[in-house]
Amino acid sequence: MTPITAATAPVLPGATIGVLGGGQLGRMFAMAARRLGYRVHTLSPDHDTPTGQIADLEVFASYDDIGKVRDFARGVDVVTFEFENVPAAAAAVAAEHAPVRPSGRALEIAQHRIREKTFLVQHGLPVAPFAPIRQAADLDPALAMIGRPSVLKAAALGYDGKGQARLDATTDALEAWRSLGEPEAVLEQFVDLDREISVIGARGVDGGWSYFGPIENVHRNHILDVSTAPADLAAPLAAQAIEATKAVMDGLEYVGILCVEFFVTRGGQVLINELAPRPHNSGHLTSDACRTSQFEQQLRAICGLPLGSPELLQPAAMANLLGDVWSQGTPNWAAALRYPEIKLHLYGKSQPRSGRKMGHLTAMGASAADARRLVLAAREALGGSSR
């Protein structure tokens, strides 16, 4: 364990946590922090954000406004993220005034697919075969190496399926790349997918480590739809995913919460899809089903406190509530809450839009399958469209 120094001394309750980002992940983190007696400041380029509604102070500023970021960091005791696409320069200037956890280096690697996959390969971690694309001339050699079908993914700013194009036998690769805006990208071999899982790890200032998961995830239209825990996964594959998550966090000297998303192939391989250097949508069920939530665990990790128990108290499932649920008007909340096992979480967003994450439902059950059945039934009772 790392000796306690000025840089590793605990940030105790009563201190102020700075959150870069204003979304629902920051909102749930702020709730956990306030419960433990911390103050929370948030900075984002929006007003009345989900995080800002809970925080003590909401700062309206661009992440590129280095002066505002500097002033923000001066007013807090530790800085963390709920949104990974914060410029490296903002993380660096914040680090001049307060500990930044996770570090700007970890953020820089995780927010760019070429850097991320290069890091994983250098550490001997399993990924699907890929080739970097930096210019049009890279496409043909990459296709010769990777083959078709394959997936072209923008290196930066891609999430929920955005910035991706599948290349089948007849797809014009150059046109597909142009349709994405001619970005730096990776060409990745198409995976014969059995299922998708995630493991959420926590690593403290002293190197102590803990994990949630594996959690099984089902996507619709590239957006996470339902997560269940525990995942229906053979023990050896679960162990591989857990070991890979720890290796990633140790390799990054990571402090905080990190989600590693995995593909599980029909051939029994566990491959890392991507890293999320923050709490993760699939971990929302930990707030109701685990002894310590991912948000409290994030707080404990960045503040140098002992990590809590991640024990899953009961099998659970989470169903996302997208703006589509409002398509027929206000959802029938009472109908969903007639299921006594259901917990409702809304994010304080006033404008529902198709595909926008507005909230989620969680359910506990006798088994993961039972919890999944309950949460889907409750969502169906809301009316509107679930997708």
Confidence of residue 160 (pLDDT cuts 50, 70, 90): low
pLDDT at 159: 63
Mean pLDDT rounded to a whole number for the chain: 95
| Closest to 140 (Cα-Cα) out of 166, 192, 148 | 148
Tens digit of pLDDT for each residue in 288-332? 999 999 999 999 999 999 999 999 999 999 999 999 999 999 999
Question: Mean pLDDT over residues 24-32, rounded?
Answer: 98
- Work out the percent of the chain whose per-residue pLDDT is above 90: 91
pLDDT digits 0-9 by tens, 80-118: 999 888 998 999 999 999 999 999 999 999 999 999 999
pLDDT digits (tens, 9 = 90+) for 229-269: 999 999 999 999 999 999 999 999 999 999 999 999 999 99
| Per-residue pLDDT at 387 | 43
Banded pLDDT at 8 (limits 50, 70, 90): confident
Q: Which domains does the chain have, with CATH numbers?
A: 16-100 (3.40.50.20), 129-189 (3.30.1490.20), 193-381 (3.30.470.20)
Nearest 10 degrees: CA dihedral of 84, 292, 38, 11?
A: -80
Q: Give me the pLDDT at residue 5, please.
A: 58
